[in-house]
């Protein structure tokens, strides 16, 4: 039996009432009308063959209480079986060719173009949703009209109350019209797409919130080479790109600069180290201070976390400078006509879906 046949056996259990959706309505070049259905789910992927089936089935499990919803998967030129596996499900699949800007922002931007939901849920393909967070999130937005976006905690909740925040990330649920009003996600930012959107919304007077429960388990497989992977993807250009993009907006610019405080502090400490070369006692003092600082970071974040934190910040210092010289193009320049429509999905009725047992993630005990 082939791998695809095995997937067919597994996904055959995901059944339920569906409403046909014509292929003509899936056109990335024409923004879809928002509010036609309660919810659109946008999943972004890049080589997620090991996780994508669990991700999709967890979305179905989380949407059991949703009267009608659609799932849109946007793949960024995967070279593994991600798309083949996803085609076993009744979802829309779009593919960004490898000749175009590939980033989280581009994937979310493309997915939002065809999303028809009043609300839009953004999920990464290496995440498994819990079944309780989404109903809470949808209810919160309905009962708090001043709030246009919510997030939860990944893996483990670290709070017991709802918190107002400037940005949201990970698994996010947005009011689709509010997101569209600011132009949505920037497809040309190499990273920082959630931060860019959050700062624009909150500066415009909208509110964002973090709910005190786990939204998903993140199977990111992070290693000590993570900073190098981000460097190759151009992620470290993003802060500089965002600063350049909003240099005429003092409120957003100030928020972006404040977010660089760790990079600024590290750069200042390196500068102190250079100055200390004039005296051996100063050099020794600087080295001892550096050792204590690294040890403190390691104690708090662990060895892997410390390597990621320091490596990321060191690489990001140069990235900010480079990003300032490479501002993102206007979103209208993104070549949506080149996006492939691999499969056309259906509008699903969550109440009639039969989802395999255990499809949703079971987070560790939380504080809420």
Q: Assess whether 209 and 337 both reside in one domain.
A: yes
* Cβ neighbours around 128 below 10 Å, total: 23
Asked whether the predicted pLDDT for residue 344 surpasses 80, the reply is yes
The residue that leads in pLDDT, 3 or 113, is: 113
CA dihedral 197, 201, 202, 207 (to 10 degrees): -110
Model confidence at 168, pLDDT cuts 50, 70, 90, reads very high
pLDDT at 42 (0 to 100): 98
Domain containing 178 — which CATH number? 3.90.550.10
Q: What is the pLDDT of residue 242?
A: 94
pLDDT-based confidence at residue 367 (cuts at 50, 70, 90): very low
CA–CA separation, 308 vs 46, rounded Å? Answer: 21
In a domain, 170, yes or no: yes
Whether 201 and 290 share a structural domain: no
* Domain assignment of residue 366, yes or no: no
Interacting residues of 57 by C-beta distance below 8 A, sequence separation 6+: 11, 14, 355, 356, 359
User: Using one digit for the tens of pLDDT, what is the confidence trace for 129-166?
Assistant: 998 999 999 999 999 999 999 999 999 998 999 999 99
The reply to whether 42 falls in a domain is yes
Judgement on whether residues 89 and 170 belong to the same structural domain of the protein: yes
In a shared domain, residues 8 and 145? yes
In a domain, 124, yes or no: yes
So what's the pLDDT on residue 22?
A: 42
Domain count, the chain: 2
The per-residue pLDDT for range 85-115, each reduced to its tens digit, is 999 999 999 999 987 777 889 999 999 999 9
Which token pair is 30? Answer: 């024409």
Residue 202 and residue 72 in one domain: yes
Sequence-separated (6 or more) residues with CB below 8 Å from residue 197: 167, 179, 182, 184, 185, 186
The predicted model scores a pTM of 0.85
Host domain of residue 271: 226-324
Instruction: Provide the residue count of the chain.
Output: 368
Do 143 and 91 sit in the same domain of this protein?
yes
DSSP H or E segment with residue 7:
helix 3-11
Residue 88 domain-assigned (yes or no) = yes
132 in Cβ contact with 213 (< 8 Å): yes
H helices present in 189-344, as ranges? 193-203, 226-233, 238-245, 250-258, 261-275, 280-324
The pLDDT-based confidence of 44 (bands split at 50, 70, 90) is very high
Same domain, 184 and 255: no
CA 331 to chain centre: 18
358, part of any domain: no
> Among 22-36, 42-56, 156-170, 197-211, whose mean pLDDT is lowest?
22-36
The sign one gets for the Cα dihedral 89, 94, 96, 101 is negative
Q: Are residues 181 and 301 in the same domain?
A: no
Element (H, E) at 149: strand 147-154
Question: Residue 21 pLDDT > 70, yes or no?
Answer: no
Number of helices and strands (H, E) in the chain? 12, 12
User: Within this chain, do residues 107 and 125 fall inside the same structural domain, yes or no?
Assistant: yes
Q: Judge whether 235 lies within some domain.
A: yes
Cα three-residue angle 281-282-285, rounded to 5 degrees: 85
Determine, yes or no, domain membership for 149.
Answer: yes
Q: Are residues 86 and 214 in the same domain?
A: yes
Residues 178, 317: one domain?
A: no
Whether residue 302 has pLDDT greater than 80: yes
- Do residues 70 and 177 share a domain? yes
């Amino acid at each position: 039996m082939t791998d695809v046949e095995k997937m067919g056996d597994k996904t055959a259990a995901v059944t339920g009432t569906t409403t046909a959706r014509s292929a003509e309505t899936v056109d990335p070049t024409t923004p879809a009308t928002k509010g036609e259905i309660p919810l659109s789910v946008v999943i972004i992927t890049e080589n997620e063959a090991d996780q994508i089936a669990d991700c999709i089935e967890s979305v179905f499990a989380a949407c059991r209480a949703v009267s009608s919803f659609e799932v849109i998967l946007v793949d960024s030129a995967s070279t593994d079986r991600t798309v083949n596996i996803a085609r076993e499900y009744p979802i829309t699949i779009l593919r960004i060719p490898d000749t175009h800007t590939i980033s989280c922002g581009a994937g979310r931007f493309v997915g939002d173009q065809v999303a028809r939901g009043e609300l839009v849920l953004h999920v990464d393909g290496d995440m498994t949703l819990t079944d309780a967070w989404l109903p809470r999130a949808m209810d919160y937005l309905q009962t708090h009209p001043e709030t246009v976006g919510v997030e939860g905690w990944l893996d483990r909740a670290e709070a017991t109350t709802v918190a107002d925040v400037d940005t949201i990330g990970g698994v996010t649920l947005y009011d689709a019209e509010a997101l569209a009003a600011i132009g949505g996600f920037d497809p040309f930012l190499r990273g920082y797409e959630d931060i860019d959107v959050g700062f624009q919304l909150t500066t415009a007077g909208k509110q964002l919130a973090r709910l005190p429960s786990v939204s998903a388990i993140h199977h990111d497989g992070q290693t000590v080479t993570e900073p190098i992977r981000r460097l190759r993807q151009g992620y470290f250009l993003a802060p500089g790109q965002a600063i350049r993009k909003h240099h005429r907006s003092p409120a957003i610019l100030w928020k972006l600069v404040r977010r660089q405080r760790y990079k600024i502090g590290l750069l200042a400490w390196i500068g102190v180290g250079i100055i200390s070369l004039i005296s051996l006692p100063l050099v020794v003092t600087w080295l001892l201070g550096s050792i204590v600082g690294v040890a403190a970071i390691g104690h708090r974040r662990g060895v892997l976390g410390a390597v990621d934190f320091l490596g990321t910040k060191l690489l990001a210092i140069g990235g900010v400078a480079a990003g300032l010289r490479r501002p993102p193009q206007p979103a209208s320049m993104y070549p949506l006509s080149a996006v492939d429509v691999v499969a056309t999905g259906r509008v699903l009725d969550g109440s009639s879906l039969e989802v395999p047992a255990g499809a949703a993630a079971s987070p560790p005990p939380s504080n809420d």
